[in-house]
């Protein structure tokens, strides 16, 4: 029998200049996967942080198992059985998996309460094995990939024997297979009578795994219901207050001359024999599963990683891009995938973040022209619909999705000729997604050449003029907009090379 385990009543949370939550209600039952839905900045993560003792509410209350929740810190929540996997990584990278998992609840032995490392290692390994993770409990977290880190955080929640497990966008760093693994874990938690709060911007996930949903908009409670009784349109309307007419606003653009030409590019262990041309006005999609080598190719072109073979030419002339500075001077911009560690500097204002790559251009005698800085920030900040209390606030006060928008704005502000986007809409809500797509289209129609890496098939099919597919470091397919469909693209992404395709 499912019963109410957590009740949020009339919850309000103010930050300076912002009402992050405004009279929110939420009822969570045991054995239920509850989707918390809303646009970037709607207040989802703030609500999670109140439930887990990170923030105190300004007004309203949270009842947990019928009692008023009065956590003084995150450890209280952990001990009470509410565990969260936060949007931003919250592990200590210099410590091992075991140390991270038992942080704050060490196993001790004897009367002296000595820390029992053996027991903790054993239990950690058992947890990892149970989740079928190929990770050694003594590995330092810094040596794990993003997906593995997420899985370790889940293992941690399990080790705490949490009654409520909150997952704030858990799948954004996972590959298709890993998402399946996560679903398995979620279903198992559910069968064990736990309550799961699941935050995601991906509707297919919500409809696949969630039973119930609650929608927030601008910090306000909008509504709730059974997932089985609703549909995407209805949820979108609740989220944005209107229906979205077009998801992939691709405009037809005449494809111009070749701008970038890559020949036989290789980096041992990552990719080999990568060759393609990119034309003026073209949106070239790169599809593949996580780990296919797409990001590595782009990092090499941008001068972050060194290549072992191959050439890169711009406008027909071979160029030697030694580092990202060179790349930027050639008019190339690269928006990386892992924006949390490579994109945004959290302790810096939005304005400083956005203008960082062009700080020299905006300065004279080492002094930044504040007015220009503001103008650039405003132009591109507004274009990306960044929601913030002001342009001067630090990036760490922004919601996850809005931080992503800052990184996009930063690179678009350099007004590049070639724009490489690595998963540009990851973590971005539906309405902004449409805005980002519209913006990409607009840039292309002005003659910019765009490379769009995406693991979201509808995005690639909807936006790209041409699709290149990679699998395990090799190109396994190339399709024109007309040819590309979910069948042939997915086949190529899983390593199947279509007959008649010469690569
Ligand atoms: N520490 C903070 N200081 C100031 N403002 C904050 C802070 N944390 C969050 N906010 C603001 O509260 C609002 C809600 O943010 P929150 O992170 O809860 O959104 P979200 O729904 O999780 O969005 P996303 O989908 O982008 O992750 C945003 O306007 C954000 O800028
Ligand atoms: Mg969030």
Q: CATH code at 44?
A: 3.40.50.300
Among residues 400, 415, 430, the one where a domain terminates is 415
Among residues 366, 389, 415, the one where a domain terminates is 415
Q: Which of 22, 41, 432 to mutate to test the pocket of ligand 1 (most atoms within 8 A of CB)?
A: 41
Ligand 1 centroid to 200 CA: how many Å?
15
Is the pLDDT score of 146 beyond 80?
no
Structure confidence at residue 344 as a pLDDT band (50, 70, 90): confident
Q: Is residue 263 part of a domain?
A: yes
Q: Are residues 302 and 366 in the same domain?
A: no
Q: Are residues 42 and 156 in the same domain?
A: yes
β-strand partners of 35: 198, 213
What percent of the chain shows pLDDT beyond 90?
A: 50
Ligand 2 centroid to 484 CA: how many Å?
34
- Residue-level pLDDT at 453: 95
Structure confidence at residue 76 as a pLDDT band (50, 70, 90): confident
Q: Is residue 251 part of a domain?
A: no
Ligand 2 centroid to 292 CA: how many Å?
28
Report whether 165 contacts 194 (CB < 8 A).
yes
Mean pLDDT of 484-495: 86
Is the pLDDT score of 238 beyond 70?
yes
Query: Among 145-149, 387-391, 409-413, 437-441, where is mean pLDDT lowest?
Result: 145-149
Which residue blocks in 33-144 are alpha helix, DSSP H? 44-51, 74-80, 97-101, 117-130
Q: Is residue 246 part of a domain?
A: no
Nearest residue (by CA) to ligand 1, atom 6, is 397
Structure confidence at residue 497 as a pLDDT band (50, 70, 90): low
Is the pLDDT score of 339 beyond 80?
no
Is the pLDDT score of 226 beyond 60?
yes
pLDDT digits (tens, 9 = 90+) for 297-320: 999 999 999 888 999 999 999 999
Contacts 24+ apart (CB under 8 A), 395-399: 395/344, 395/345, 395/346, 395/347, 395/348, 395/349, 395/350, 395/353, 396/346, 396/347, 397/15, 398/41, 398/350, 399/40, 399/41, 399/42, 399/44, 399/45
Is the pLDDT score of 342 beyond 60?
yes
Q: Are residues 49 and 23 in the same domain?
A: yes
Q: Are residues 26 and 124 in the same domain?
A: yes
Report whether 449 contacts 455 (CB < 8 A).
no
Query: Among 262-271, 361-370, 427-436, where is mean pLDDT lowest?
Result: 427-436
- Residue-level pLDDT at 1: 55
Is the pLDDT score of 289 beyond 80?
no
* Closest-approaching ligand to the CA atom of 42: 1
Q: Distance between CA 205 and CA 218 in Å, rounded? A: 23
- Residue-level pLDDT at 474: 93
Among residues 415, 435, 464, the one where a domain terminates is 415
Q: Are residues 473 and 446 in the same domain?
A: yes
Pocket of ligand 1 (CB under 6 A): 15, 18, 20, 38, 40-46, 87, 387-388, 397-402, 429
Q: Distance between CA 395 and CA 422 in Å, rounded? A: 21
Ligand 2 centroid to 298 CA: how many Å?
28
Q: Is residue 466 part of a domain?
A: yes
Is the pLDDT score of 429 beyond 70?
yes
User: Which atom belonging to ligand 1 lies closest to the Cα atom of 393?
Assistant: 4
- What is the pTM for the complete model shown? 0.75
Q: Is residue 31 part of a domain?
A: yes
Q: Are residues 212 and 150 in the same domain?
A: yes
Nearest residue (by CA) to ligand 1, atom 9, is 397
Q: Is residue 250 part of a domain?
A: no
Q: Are residues 310 and 373 in the same domain?
A: no
Ligand 1 centroid to 390 CA: how many Å?
13
Q: Give how far the C-alpha of residue 396 lies from the chain's centroid of Cα atoms, to the nearest Å.
A: 16
Q: Which of 318, 285, 324, 319 is nearest to 302 (CA)?
A: 324
Total domains, the chain: 3
Q: Is residue 33 part of a domain?
A: yes
Nearest residue (by CA) to ligand 1, atom 1, is 397
Q: Are residues 100 and 209 in the same domain?
A: yes
- Residue-level pLDDT at 103: 83
Higher per-residue confidence, 434 vs 211: 211
pLDDT digits (tens, 9 = 90+) for 85-124: 877 667 888 899 999 998 877 888 888 788 888 999 999 9
Q: Are residues 272 and 193 in the same domain?
A: no
Q: Are residues 287 and 161 in the same domain?
A: no
Q: Is residue 503 part of a domain?
A: no
- Residue-level pLDDT at 487: 84
- Residue-level pLDDT at 452: 97
Q: Are residues 307 and 410 in the same domain?
A: no
Mean pLDDT of 333-353: 83
Most confident range (mean pLDDT) of 54-58, 108-112, 396-400, 453-457 is: 54-58
Average pLDDT, the chain: 88
DSSP, collapsed to helix, strand or coil, labels residue 427 as coil
Q: Are residues 405 and 367 in the same domain?
A: yes
Give the domain extent around 279: 256-331+416-498
* Closest-approaching ligand to the CA atom of 387: 1
């Amino acid at each position: 029998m499912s019963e109410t385990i957590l009740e949020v009543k009339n919850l309000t949370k103010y930050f300076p200049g912002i009402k992050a939550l405004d009279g929110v209600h939420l009822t969570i039952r045991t054995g239920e996967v509850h989707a918390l839905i809303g646009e970037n900045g709607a207040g989802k993560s703030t609500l999670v942080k109140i439930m887990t003792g990170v923030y105190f509410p300004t007004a309203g209350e949270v009842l947990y198992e019928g009692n008023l929740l009065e956590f003084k810190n995150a450890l209280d929540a952990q001990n009470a059985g509410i565990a969260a996997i936060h949007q931003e990584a919250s592990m200590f990278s210099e410590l091992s998996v075991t140390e991270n998992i038992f942080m704050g609840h060490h196993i001790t032995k004897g009367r002296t309460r000595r820390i029992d490392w053996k027991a903790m290692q054993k239990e950690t390994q058992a947890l990892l094995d149970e989740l079928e993770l190929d990770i050694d409990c003594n590995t330092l977290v810094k040596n794990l990939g993003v997906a593995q880190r997420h899985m370790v955080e889940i293992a941690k929640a399990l080790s705490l024997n949490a009654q409520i497990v909150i997952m704030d966008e858990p799948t954004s760093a996972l590959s298709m297979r890993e998402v399946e693994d996560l679903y398995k874990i979620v279903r198992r938690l559910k069968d064990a009578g736990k309550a799961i709060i699941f935050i995601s911007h991906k509707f297919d996930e919500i409809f696949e795994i969630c039973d119930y949903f609650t929608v927030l908009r601008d910090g306000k409670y909008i509504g709730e219901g059974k997932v089985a009784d609703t549909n995407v349109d209805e949820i979108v309307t609740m989220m944005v207050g209107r229906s979205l007419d077009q998801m992939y606003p691709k405009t037809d653009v005449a494809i111009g001359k070749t701008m970038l030409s890559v020949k036989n590019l290789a980096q041992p262990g990552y990719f080999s024999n990568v060759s393609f041309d990119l034309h003026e006005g073209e949106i070239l999609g790169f599809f593949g599963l996580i780990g296919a080598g797409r990001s590595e190719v782009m990092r090499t072109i941008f001068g972050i990683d060194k290549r072992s073979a191959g050439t890169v030419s711009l406008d027909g002339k071979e160029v030697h891009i030694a580092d990202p500075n060179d790349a930027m001077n050639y008019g190339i911009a690269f928006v990386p995938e892992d924006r949390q560690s490579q994109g945004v500097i959290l302790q810096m204002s939005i304005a400083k973040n956005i203008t960082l790559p062009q700080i020299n251009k905006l300065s004279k005698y080492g002094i930044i022209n504040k007015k220009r800085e503001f103008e650039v920030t405003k132009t591109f900040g507004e274009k990306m619909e960044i929601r913030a209390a002001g342009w001067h606030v630090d990036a760490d006060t922004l919601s996850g999705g809005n931080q992503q928008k800052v990184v996009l704005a930063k690179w678009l502000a350099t007004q590049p000729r070639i724009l490489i986007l690595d998963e540009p809409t990851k973590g971005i809500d539906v309405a902004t997604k449409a805005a980002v797509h519209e913006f990409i289209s607009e840039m292309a129609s002005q003659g910019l050449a765009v490379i769009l890496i995406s693991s979201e098939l509808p995005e690639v099919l909807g936006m790209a003029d041409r699709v290149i597919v990679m699998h395990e470091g090799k190109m396994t397919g190339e399709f024109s907009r007309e040819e590309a469909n979910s069948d042939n693209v997915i086949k190529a992404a899983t390593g199947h090379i279509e007959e008649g395709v010469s690569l």
